[in-house]
Amino acid sequence: MTPTDLERAIDEAASLITAPKHVVALVGAGLSAESGIPTFRGPEGIWTKHGEPDLRDYERFAADPKSWWEQRIAGAGGLGELRTALESAEPNAGHLALREMEESGWLAHIITQNIDNLHQRAGSTRITEIHGNRTRLRCTRCHARWPLDEFPIDELPPRCPECGGIVKGDTVMFGEPIPKDALDECVDQTWKCDCMLLIGTSAVVYPAAQFPLDVRRLGGKLIEINPNETPLSALAEVTLRAPAGQSLVRLVERLRDLRP
């Protein structure tokens, strides 16, 4: 996309965002790429470089939660490259732009597939984490959640003090159903949404990939921010073919100009 085309697309995106009443951002790993966290898919993605991982994580956890916990405490398993990046990442200009959009009333809600806690650290507050948050634990039965460092682990697997259910990391594993409370919130936001920003998501992971399709079906508009084409590109009203940080900063500047 040429700089002129990008500027024109930013103008169109800004006027779409100021027109609707309920703008929702659907965020994927691409937003955190500029924080140094690798994505799974896309040209630089971990899976693109190293192949797809074993997808039976949750099956293994459900079969033997005690040994899953023992391995977790021993620091085994998981993608080393991803874990190291997650531990040192800071929110980037894109996360901060989303916070400003929320504060200024341009953004009603964030549905994020990221587990990195960077939206919270940037100061956003209306967030649904469809794949959980790596800094929390969750009860598999009642969905209660706790910050990792506030939950005393004195038996394995740990048990929920509320209902006695088994406690696991809040991050949704491959094969694990999306927690019902998070999914319900996403569906509710999708129904309310008249403009969805698709930011750094490859839009192939269900159910998240379904939300933009539903927004379109219900008459809403899609704005895609992604340097690469995705299966949703053809459905987007406006496309910003550039990295999320840069695009969101420019978009917010334009929104400020349009403020009455």
Instruction: Find the shortest distance in angstroms from Cβ 58 to Zn ion.
Output: 18
The region of 28-36, 43-51, 165-173, 190-198 touching Zn ion under the rule CB under 5 A is 165-173
Instruction: Find the shortest distance in angstroms from Cβ 56 to Zn ion.
Output: 25
CB 187 within 8 A of CB 2: no
Task: State how far the Cα of 197 lies from the Cα of 128, in Å rounded to an integer.
Answer: 15
The interface with ligand NAD within residues 106-145 (CB under 6 A) comprises 113-116, 131
Q: Tell me phi and psi for residue 166, to 5 degrees.
A: -75, 135
**Alpha-carbon distance values, 51 to 31, 44, 48, 60, 114 (Å):** 22, 12, 6, 20, 20
The set of catalytic residues is 131
Strands 167-169 and 136-139, bridge-based pairing: antiparallel
Instruction: Find the shortest distance in angstroms from Cβ 169 to ligand NAD.
Output: 13
Task: State how far the Cα of 232 lies from the Cα of 93, in Å rounded to an integer.
Answer: 24
37 forms part of the interface with ligand NAD (CB under 6 A): yes
The region of 33-41, 102-110, 119-127, 148-156 touching ligand NAD under the rule CB under 6 A is 33-41
- Residue 251 is encoded by which pair of tokens? 């978009």
63 forms part of the interface with Zn ion (CB under 5 A): no
Residue type, 233: S
What is the maximum alpha-carbon separation in the chain?
60
202 forms part of the interface with ligand NAD (CB under 6 A): yes
Three-class SS of 44-62: CCHHHHHCCCCCCHHHHHH
Question: Residue 225's closest CA among 256, 251, 204?
Answer: 251
Selection from Zn ion, ligand NAD, none that 139 binds (CB < 5 to 8 A by kind) is: Zn ion
Selection from ligand NAD, Zn ion, none that 115 binds (CB < 5 to 8 A by kind) is: ligand NAD
Selection from Zn ion, ligand NAD, none that 33 binds (CB < 5 to 8 A by kind) is: ligand NAD
Selection from ligand NAD, Zn ion, none that 1 binds (CB < 5 to 8 A by kind) is: none
Footprint of ligand NAD on this chain (CB under 6 A)?
A: 28-30, 32-34, 37, 39-42, 45, 113-116, 131, 200-202, 205, 225-228, 230, 243-244
Footprint of Zn ion on this chain (CB under 5 A)?
A: 139, 141-142, 144, 160, 162-163, 165
